[in-house]
Amino acid sequence: MDQIAWHFHFLVDFPVPIYHPVQPEPFCQITSTHRYLPIISLPKMSINANLSIELTSRAIEATPDNYYNYYHQVLLFQHEPIRRELERGLRGLEAIDLSVHPWKAKYVHVWLVEFFIPMILDHHDSEEKHMGPFYTQRGVKVPNHLSGSHSKLVNALERIGGLSETFSNSPCQENLTILKTAYFDMHELMKQHLEEEERFWPDAVKQIGEEEYSVFFKEMHTDMKNQPSGHMFLMSALDSMGYEFDGFSHVAGDTRWCGDKLLEDLIINKVPYFVRTWIFPPINRKYQHYKSIMCHVSNGLEDSIPLKYEEGSYCSVC
């Protein structure tokens, strides 16, 4: 199947420069006002784009030869998007001035309950269900503070869902302050949790080895595929890695943390061409809809984006 996909890909993909004006985001700094996309999903890739995707992790460092190993990348692949979404939510909440735009309350609620909270809950759930038991069975001693440590976060997220509903129905300053405080506390807790995982898991992944890890990754991947929130998570991860949907390829640049190899292994080589060209784009449009809702809370002046997802409703430059 892969081989057929490669041949087909080779026949129909050709390097056409595409022009995209892109607005910079604090956690996805664009170093150029435009980018030209090489078609890098061919077996031999050429990379010449000018995008810098800054790593948000403070716990994982590049190796002395300026590279991130697979045991870093597999963790960053999941945590980088979470941190980016986390920060996006924080920036949005901080930008709300109810005297000018009370409509933002509904936008925040939709982003939290339809996108952010289910995505994070499912990620933690999957870690509890698969990660802990898988490593324990292979003799890795998972520290107490990491096994079962999600309950605090789950409670915090569920509470935020309830508070955002109250805020959405009654957008007053008091409800905003309560929601912001709860979100800020959860933000701190989550950042600390991700950091603790990033200090522990790379060595554990290294200990079981790459081959064994791929067994585990397959389990996680199947889980992701079966959950609607998993689709959004995958799109968020690809978005944070600079994957380019128009070219069904990805924008290279400072991608050492996500790794060209990881993207190749995970997406280009594993996901058949028709899935990337026919199934990914509509899922991505839905993800971009939610992303643009929160970007709109940060920067929007009026409620011009529909809350309900409709084809073509998202703003692609957020």
Q: Is 122 in the site for Fe ion (CB under 5 A)?
A: no
Please answer whether residues 55 and 32 qualify as being in contact, where contact means their C-beta atoms are separated by less than 8 angstroms: no
Minimum distance from CB of 58 to Fe ion (Å)? 15
Q: Which is nearer to Fe ion, 78 or 288 (CB)?
A: 78
Q: Which is nearer to Fe ion, 88 or 286 (CB)?
A: 88
DSSP annotation of 41 reads: T
Piece of 93-101, 119-127, 168-176, 274-282 that binds Fe ion (CB under 5 A):
119-127
Range 28-34 contact pairs with CB under 8 angstroms and sequence separation of 24 or more: 28/53, 28/54, 28/84, 28/240, 28/242, 29/53, 29/54, 31/253
Query: Which residues does residue 253 pair with via DSSP β-bridges, in sequence order?
Result: 51
What value does the CA radius of gyration of the chain take, rounded to a whole number of Å?
A: 20
Q: Which is nearer to Fe ion, 238 or 251 (CB)?
A: 238
Minimum distance from CB of 236 to Fe ion (Å)? 14
Please answer whether residues 228 and 121 qualify as being in contact, where contact means their C-beta atoms are separated by less than 8 angstroms: no
Minimum distance from CB of 194 to Fe ion (Å)? 6
Minimum distance from CB of 227 to Fe ion (Å)? 16
Q: Which is nearer to Fe ion, 122 or 197 (CB)?
A: 197
Q: What angle do CA 161, 280, 252 make, to 5 degrees?
A: 100
- Interface residue with Fe ion, options 114, 127, 239, 244 (CB under 5 A): 127
What is the rounded distance in angstroms from the CA atom of residue 308 to the CA atom of residue 65?
A: 47
CA-based torsion, 207, 209, 210, 214: positive or negative = negative
Query: Which residues does residue 51 pair with via DSSP β-bridges, in sequence order?
Result: 30, 253
Piece of 2-10, 122-130, 242-250, 272-280 that binds Fe ion (CB under 5 A):
122-130
For the chain, how many residues are written? 318
Minimum distance from CB of 101 to Fe ion (Å)? 34
Residue 207 neighbours by CB under 8 Å, 6+ apart: 140
| Tokens coding 273 | 């061409």
Minimum distance from CB of 153 to Fe ion (Å)? 7
Instruction: Give the binding-site size for Fe ion (rule: CB under 5 A).
Output: 2
Q: Which is nearer to Fe ion, 127 or 239 (CB)?
A: 127
Minimum distance from CB of 152 to Fe ion (Å)? 11
Q: State the burial class of residue 20 (Cβ atoms within 10 Å of its Cβ: 0-12, 13-18, 19+).
A: middle
Q: Which is nearer to Fe ion, 121 or 315 (CB)?
A: 121
Restricting to residues 183-212, name those near Fe ion by CB under 5 A: 197
Residue 65 neighbours by CB under 8 Å, 6+ apart: none
Q: Which is nearer to Fe ion, 201 or 243 (CB)?
A: 201
Q: Which is nearer to Fe ion, 177 or 192 (CB)?
A: 192
Piece of 126-134, 213-221, 237-245, 287-295 that binds Fe ion (CB under 5 A):
126-134
Minimum distance from CB of 132 to Fe ion (Å)? 10
Piece of 11-19, 34-42, 127-135, 168-176 that binds Fe ion (CB under 5 A):
127-135
The position carrying tokens 């309830």 is 162
What is the rounded distance in angstroms from the CA atom of residue 312 to the CA atom of residue 317?
A: 13
Residues within the interface to Fe ion (CB under 5 A): 127, 197
